[in-house]
Amino acid sequence: MKLLRVGAKGHEKPAILDASGRARDLSSLIGDITPTTLLPASLDALRAVNPETLPLIDASERMGLPWSGCGKFICVGLNYADHAAESGMAIPAEPVLFTKHTSTMVGCNDPVVIPQGSVKTDWEVELGVVIGKTARYVSKSDALSHVAGYCVVNDVSEREYQLERGGTWDKGKGCDTFGPVGPWLVTADEVSDPQQLGMWLEVNGFRHQNGSTRTMVFNVAQLVSYISRFTTLYPGDLISTGTPPGVGMGVKPNPKYLKPGDVMQLSIDGLGTQRQTVHAWNPELIDG
């Protein structure tokens, strides 16, 4: 299934895609797509529904976050060897973990707003893993059974804040609008192998990133198992699994960063496409 939420910010309604890729309104069956919706039994109940019997939703409506109530947004750094090389960093012996605030999360086509004074805002296409069953000290062999589905994430990053301002990476990762997610949550049964997904990102039509999840240093099962040793993962939590090479920081000889008016487009096989326009600082674009 491909689940999504459609409508104005704060007023999204739950939806499901039909076989033709059209959004159908689930409001008559569920009030919202929440962590409870992502439990195995709840997803099984939705699979029994024929989307063709549900009302169509206008294709022009805004796509919001595919689910509400994300408790944790955990990210993995340097999880592609070639990205570590372009960043001038060693391939990690264990997964590098950091967090993005859930306030970074916006719809897949919502504006990305450059923070005040930023000159090094960058892009990163990543595979998102959405938890559907509580995971605590799970084994690698059992880890994927705790995954509800997958989604596209743009891990927007301010490199000066991340790397030059002291402390951890979080301050460069947690700015408002720095976590576009979606367009859909694609349930795990539709992704036969999360390690065989092509992914790409373009800025103003130029393809900067063109990679595959098969080159991850630590695969999805390893990451879910590893992270569950340090924090309990609950339904609705999101893991963003790292980016392939081609980020702006890695452009040689001169790094390239985002500026107002730039348009990012990014996609992962089977998980949909995002498109964001970059804006100068404007709190109305964040709160509106």
The verdict on 188 and 238 lying in the same domain is yes
**What pLDDT shows up at residue 270?**
98
pLDDT tier at 23, thresholds 50, 70, 90: very high
Q: Answer whether residue 271 shows pLDDT above 80.
A: yes
Please state the rounded mean pLDDT for residues 266-285. Answer: 97
Residue 129 sits in the same domain as residue 90: yes
- Which are the contacts of 46, defined by CB distance < 8 A and separation ≥ 6? 1, 3, 16, 26, 29, 30, 37
Check whether residue 30 and residue 94 sit in a common domain: no
Do residues 77 and 97 make contact, with C-beta atoms less than 8 angstroms apart?
yes
pTM score above 0.85: yes
Over residues 78-137, the pLDDT tens digits come to 999 888 888 787 889 999 999 999 999 999 999 999 999 999 999 999 999 999 999 999
What percentage of the chain carries pLDDT values higher than 70?
A: 100
Mean per-residue pLDDT, 49-63: 97
Q: Which amino acid does the sequence have at 119?
A: V
Q: What is the pLDDT of residue 91?
A: 87
CA angle 141, 129, 180 (to 5 degrees): 170
Domain boundary among 64, 81, 111: 64
**Domains held by the chain: number:** 2
Same domain? For 133 and 252 the reply is yes
How many Cβ atoms sit within 10 Å of the Cβ of residue 260? 12
33-36 contact pairs (CB < 8 A, 24+)? 33/3, 33/4, 33/5, 33/66, 33/67, 33/68, 33/185, 34/67, 34/68, 34/69, 34/236, 35/67, 35/69, 35/71, 35/234, 35/235, 35/236, 36/235
Name the strand (E) or helix (H) holding 174. Answer: none
d(CA 37, CA 132): 9
The domain containing residue 42 runs over which residues? 1-64
**Strand, helix or coil at 147?**
strand
The torsion defined by the Cα of 86, 89, 93 and 98, in degrees rounded to 10, comes to -90
Q: Do 20 and 151 share a domain, yes or no?
A: no
54 in the same domain as 91: no
- In this structure, are 9 and 152 located in the same domain? no
Question: 234 and 150 share a domain?
Answer: yes
CA gap 137, 159 in Å, rounded: 33
For the chain, the average pLDDT equals: 96
Q: What is the pLDDT of residue 89?
A: 76
* pLDDT for position 96: 95
Residues 10, 151 share a domain:
no
Q: How far apart are the first and last CA of the chain?
A: 30
Greater pLDDT, 163 or 138: 138
Q: Which of 90, 71, 73 is nearest to 81 (CA)?
A: 90
pLDDT reported for residue 196: 98
Listed residues 29, 47, 64: the one ending a domain: 64
Residue 79 near residue 85 (C-beta atoms within 8 A) = no
Q: What is the total residue count of the chain?
A: 288
pLDDT digits (tens, 9 = 90+) for 212-249: 999 999 999 999 999 999 999 999 999 999 999 999 99
* Max intra-chain CA distance, the chain: 56
pLDDT of residue 197: 98
- pLDDT tens for each residue of 169-210: 889 999 999 999 999 999 999 999 999 999 999 999 999 999
CATH of the domain at 203: 3.90.850.10
Domain shared by 211 and 76, yes or no: yes
Q: Are residues 209 and 273 in the same domain?
A: yes
For residue 152, name the pLDDT band (cuts at 50, 70, 90): very high
Considering the domain architecture, whether residues 44 and 87 belong to the same structural domain is answered as no
Of 64, 88, 118, the position where a domain reaches its end is: 64
Phi and psi (nearest 5°) for 124? -160, 110
Mean pLDDT of 71-81: 95
